[in-house]
Structure 1
Amino acid sequence: MEPYSKAEEISHTRLRMELDKKFKVLCLHGFRTSGNFLKKQISKWNPSIFQQFDMVFPDGIFPAGGKSEIEGIFPPPYFEWFQFNKDFTEYTNLDECISYLCDYMVKNGPFDGLLGFSQGATLSALLIGYQAQGKVLNDHPPIKFMVSIAGSKFRDPSICNIAYKDPIKVKSVHFIGEKDWLKVPSEELAAAFEDPVIIRHPQGHTVPRLDEASVKQLSEWSSSILEDIKNADDVAKASNVEKPSEGNTVAESGENLVEQIAA
């Protein structure tokens, strides 16, 4: 068998890198739980759904300020992202939380998508809505998709008038429980997105176990996300590749490919 030429070796290396590439997802846990707890919650889903995604599960920046609903179910410590009043119209430490998450995303990203449960989902939608309006994450690539589980909208008009000013155009899937006390707010959040995918389940305020139909629906959705990202990457790469001038050798083309891969 003839040995690979330098250009062919570079081509194969590039192909392997593309196949191995994982797309980063920032996963934000619910109120007074933890990143590890959300990771355990998501683990009940078929692992094939997110096999090409690098799921990152940070903890909230504030220690739980009261009793956690998962005490005795999952070990501490527990955290919260921010605090709020009973009507969810007034918030404490929200600006600090947003600044922390924006810094985290820039330093540890870039992140292609966000996934959140309850308070984490509410925050995720806020970050995406704010980014779309140019309020935050101007030094981070646009978030491309979101998975919302039992999320809701903020109710403060000063937030709503920015975050949900226009339909949020990233691809989104929303899990809404029939017995969830946040069922209606979850539906209102889904309505803030353009062409949302809604997956309903009979359970309450939880990360649901998925039936066969839901697994199929979520798998198809995640596959379409991957296809969109890869197509966008291909377009970006094509626009950055200069046509070789006459007289360029195969070796020179190979060196250009090396530079593109390293970039």
Structure 2
Amino acid sequence: MMEEDQTQKKPRVLCLHGFRTSAEILKKLVSRWPESVTHKLDLVFLDAKFPAQGESDVEGIFDPPYFEWFQSNQDFSEYMNFEECLTYIEDFMVENGPFDGLLGFSQGAVLAAALPGMQAQGVALGKVKNKIKFLILISGAKFGGNKFGAPKLASNAFSKLIDIPSIHFIGTFS
């Protein structure tokens, strides 16, 4: 009985993989983290809705299939399938939640970073009863800025402060 109580207290985290990768790939990468971290979290890995529409940077390293959360044109001024992506994540969260936080890698981190602001504005995750309480962002970025556009629904995701803790993993290639 004591073990069940401890399991229920673990923060439940929805994990969103990178562009043209998969939930299985992210799971393998996160499994390299120290057990002192991973055993404190209930990690749930989700494949994106859309099969990869081009080559994956991880071909030859990790096996397919590969997925992407949404698509954009080359200069990131137009986004496709973004609303469908949000609905897909929302439905998964409603059916499999509740979730306390989000972990995102690369494209998944860009998406995860925007979701709390979009949830607060009522443009995403409206059927999800609980608010996102924290973020773990790995190699992410934010929609918008001087160089890149943002999907319409995410255009104001960062316009107001969202008071939740976040940890950001940022690195360089050597």
TM-score of the superposed pair, with normalisation by structure 2: 0.88
Instruction: Write out aligned runs for 1:45-194 (5 A).
Output: 45-140=33-128, 141-155=130-144, 156=149, 158-159=152-153, 161-177=155-171, 179=172
1:20 alignment partner AA: T
Q: Tell me if structure 1 keeps the 8 A contact 2:110–2:143.
A: yes
Give distance in 2, aligned partners of 1:73 and 1:114. 25
Deviations 1:128-162 (A, max 9, x none): 11112222223320110000011111123644542
**Equivalent residue of 1:26, what SS?**
strand
Q: Tell me if structure 1 keeps the 8 A contact 2:49–2:69.
A: yes
Give the number of the structure with larger relative contact order, counting CA–CA contacts within 8 Å between residues 6 or more apart. Answer: 2
Q: Tell me if structure 2 keeps the 8 A contact 1:116–1:148.
A: yes
**Structure 1: which 5+ residue stretches go unaligned?**
1-12, 180-202, 205-263
Give distance in 1, aligned partners of 2:58 and 2:87. 27
Deviations 1:172-209 (A, max 9, x none): 001111x2xxxxxxxxxxxxxxxxxxxxxxx47xxxxx
Q: CA deviation at 1:59?
A: 0.7
1:41 aligns with 2:36: no
Quick one: percent identity of the two aligned structures?
Answer: 52
Instruction: Write out aligned runs for 1:194-233 (5 A).
Output: 203=173
How many residues align structurally? 167
Deviations 1:201-259 (A, max 9, x none): xx47xxxxxxxxxxxxxxxxxxxxxxxxxxxxxxxxxxxxxxxxxxxxxxxxxxxxxxx
Give distance in 2, aligned partners of 1:138 and 1:94. 16
Give distance in 1, aligned partners of 2:93 and 2:114. 14
1:199 aligns with none
**Structure 2: which 5+ residue stretches go unaligned?**
none
**Equivalent residue of 2:6, what SS?**
helix
Q: CA deviation at 1:16?
A: 5.3
Against the structure 1 CA distance between its residues 161 and 62, is the aligned structure 2 distance closer, same or farther, given a 3 Å change threshold?
closer
**Equivalent residue of 2:137, what SS?**
strand
**Equivalent residue of 1:25, what SS?**
strand
Q: Tell me if structure 2 keeps the 8 A contact 1:88–1:154.
A: no
Q: Tell me if structure 2 keeps the 8 A contact 1:146–1:172.
A: yes
TM-score of the superposed pair, with normalisation by structure 1: 0.60
**Equivalent residue of 1:76, what SS?**
coil
Give distance in 2, aligned partners of 1:61 and 1:87. 23
